[in-house]
Each structure stands twice: as C-alpha cells, then as structure tokens.
Amino acid sequence: MLSITTADGKFLIRPYQKGDQTDICRLFQEVFGQVKPKELWEWEFLANPYGTEIMVCEHVGRGIVAQCAALPAPFAFNGQIYRCAQLVDCMCKKEYRMYVVKKRGLFALTVQEFFNQFTGENKNIYLYGFPGERHYRLGKLLLGYRKTKPALETRVEKIRTWKGFGVRLIALDSVANYQNQINQLAKQDAKVHPLCLFKEFNYLSWRYVCSPKKYAFFGLTTFFHKLKSLAILKIERDHLKLIDFLGVTQLKKLLFCLWQEFKKPIILGFPQNSYVHKIIKEMGYTPVPVSIPIIPGGKTFWEKLDWDFANNNFFYTLGDCDLF
C-alpha cells in the first residue's frame, strides 16, 4: 500500500477491499458511460477461481478515483503452465487524470503498484488486453503495451470439402461430465500454440458456464463418447459466433459439423499467422480484420518470456476479449 499526503488530502493506493465495488461501479459508469450490473462485476472479479487482482487509488473521504484491474488465468508457454492476466476496467476519474504527485500522475502510480503486487516470475508473467485506439495509446504510454498480432475473423459457410466420418456433434447440457477430457484437450492445445491461455475445466466453467451471459456448448465426439473438440457458441438469428473452442487440431471437422447442424454461417476470430489462420486459409477462406475496433496488446514480466516472441505468438479467440 502506498500512502500519499497532499494539500488536497490523503491518497491511498492499495489492493481491493471488500465493499469497494460500489465505488468502483460508480467510477466505471462515470468514466465509460455504461452501467456494469452488480452480478456481472461480482462474477468477473470475485468468482474468478484464480483470484481477484485490483489496485485502486482512494482519495480518503471522497472515494475511489482510479483503478488498475485484471482477470488472472492459467497461461501456457511452450507447454508449461504459468499465470497471466487480462487488463480490464483501467480507469481514472476525469478531474484526477492530470493530478501529479512526486512527478507522476495518480493513475500511473496506481498502475505501478499493480505491477509491483501482481506481476513477476511467480505471479503474472504476461498481461494482455483488447483496448480501443484511445485506451491503447494510454496503455502504451503508462503500461508499456506493445501490439500483438492483429485480430482477424472469417465467415465460414457452405463447407463441402470434408465428410465427418467417425465423429458427431452433440449439445452438451453439462460440460462437467467431460471435465477430464476438457483438461486433456487444453493440454493438447497448449502443445499446438506456443503461447495461449490454458483453458482447463475450471477456467471454462467460470468464464462461460457461470457467466451472466449465456452461451451454447457443443461437443465433437466419437461414437464412443470421446470428446475431440469443444465449441462455445453465441447462436444468432442468421449466424453463429464461435466464441471459443478446444481441440484446435479438429477445427475443420468441428466447423463442418456445425455447418451441417445449423446451416448458418460461422464467424470465428483469431490472430494473424496463428495455427488457426493457416487452417482457415487452407480451407479456401480469406480472413479479414475483425469488425470490432480493438487493438490486441501485451506486456511481459519475466526475462525468460521474450517480448517479441510473446507479441508474435500469443493466441487468442473472440472469448478472450471481454466484450463477449
């Protein structure tokens, strides 16, 4: 905790404490012009099985005026599991944005305390996010952000080049029945992607099953009930959004079976030059920039994770962006 006394009173830069959420949600509405429902905030920050990582700046007697927050998750780097976190809801009250203490702004001090508390070899070795242009420029200045490979998307439809022998697509009422198999798929995907979130069962359960937002789950299985791939969908009136998936080596089969089942175009997002990018191009599709105005970026906090390697190889999906 950092305590600062000024002519305007006392400031405390400290980790989240129980009860801060009222002030935080009020600040969110003021900064972003949107209301974040209590159930959404509590799921996002308190229900996360990997912990709560929030640093706030409190103007004592006047409430919270700045925040740097992230969503921690397991992280696979060359097949080994570490920790990373997605930066979200980084914000500062308008009248405090130019407030300078000890030659540094309050928000910059809050960010630095977040780094001190939550990053490093045995903590988060990588921070990533999907800000818009203005917030990316701020992140580059204050957080040391660098761009990762840009996000692309593809509209896949009318697939006729593969026949789905030996597998079938089934709706999953409960992914808990496939817990061990999901963990195996996460391990397999971690061998394909040099750098990615490790989407084990506990992560998927929190991120999608327990989310206030609703998703549909489909499994690509053998006729002996072995899970080969997992699809997490948003089913729209005229298309599907493949929000997330496991079993990347089975992606062609998964897309074919989804098309056969729904007869709707399938939209999926992924980074340029990734394993998925190559698969989509092999299928004859031309990926295009995503339709949402985001700039993927990241920052490493461990000397063994080279910055250029991380930003060139980090794999993400639509579901890794908190807009979904």
- Assign residue 247 a region (left: φ > 0; alpha: ψ between -120 and 50; beta: otherwise): left
The per-residue b/e assignment along 180-209, b for 16 or more CB within 10 angstroms, e otherwise, is ebbbbbbeebbebbbbbbbbbbbbbbbbbe
Spatial contact of 204 and 48, defined as CB atoms under 8 Å apart: no
Mean pLDDT, residues 280-300 taken together:
88
Cβ neighbours of residue 2 closer than 8 Å, sequence gap 6 or more: 12, 13, 14, 109, 113
Residue 281: per-residue pLDDT: 93
CA 222 to chain centre: 30
Give the model confidence (pLDDT) of 80-129 as tens digits.
999 999 999 999 998 888 877 777 788 989 999 999 999 999 999 999 99
Spatial contact of 263 and 287, defined as CB atoms under 8 Å apart: no
Residue 97: per-residue pLDDT: 83
Give the model confidence (pLDDT) of 273-289 as tens digits.
999 999 999 999 999 98
Mean pLDDT, residues 185-205 taken together:
96
Q: Report in angstroms the alpha-carbon separations of 284 from 155, 281, 287, 289.
A: 11, 5, 10, 17
Distance from C-alpha of 107 to C-alpha of 54, rounded to nearest angstrom:
13
Amino acid residing at 136: Y
Share of the chain above pLDDT 90, in %: 71
Task: Say whether pLDDT at 27 is over 70.
Answer: yes
Residue 165: per-residue pLDDT: 65
* DSSP 8-state code for residue 172: -
What are the start-end ranges of the H helices in the chain? 21-32, 38-45, 106-118, 133-142, 179-192, 201-204, 251-262, 275-282, 307-313
Band (pLDDT 50/70/90 cuts) for residue 167 is confident
Band (pLDDT 50/70/90 cuts) for residue 223 is confident
Q: Which CATH class for the 2-124 domain?
A: alpha beta
Residues of the chain with CATH 3.40.630.30: 2-124, 151-294
pTM reported for the whole predicted model: 0.91
Mean pLDDT, residues 31-37 taken together:
93
CB atoms within 10 A of CB 100: 11
Q: Could you tell me which of 218, 286, 207 has the C-alpha nearest to residue 253?
A: 218
Mean pLDDT, residues 149-177 taken together:
83
Task: Say whether pLDDT at 262 is over 70.
Answer: yes
Spatial contact of 117 and 55, defined as CB atoms under 8 Å apart: yes
Residue 76: per-residue pLDDT: 97
Helix (H), strand (E) counts: the chain: 9, 19
Residue 89: per-residue pLDDT: 93
Q: Could you tell me which of 254, 318, 272, 248 has the C-alpha nearest to residue 76?
A: 248
Query: Domain 151-294: what homologous superfamily?
Result: Gcn5-related N-acetyltransferase (GNAT) (3.40.630.30)
Residue 18: per-residue pLDDT: 94
Mean pLDDT, residues 14-29 taken together:
95
Residue 40: per-residue pLDDT: 93
Q: Compute the radius of gyration of the chain from its Cα atoms.
A: 21
Give the model confidence (pLDDT) of 126-159 as tens digits.
999 987 777 778 777 777 778 889 899 999 987 7
Residue 235: HSE in the Cβ half-sphere, 13 Å Cα cutoff: 12
Top-confidence residue, 240 or 321: 240
Band (pLDDT 50/70/90 cuts) for residue 6 is confident
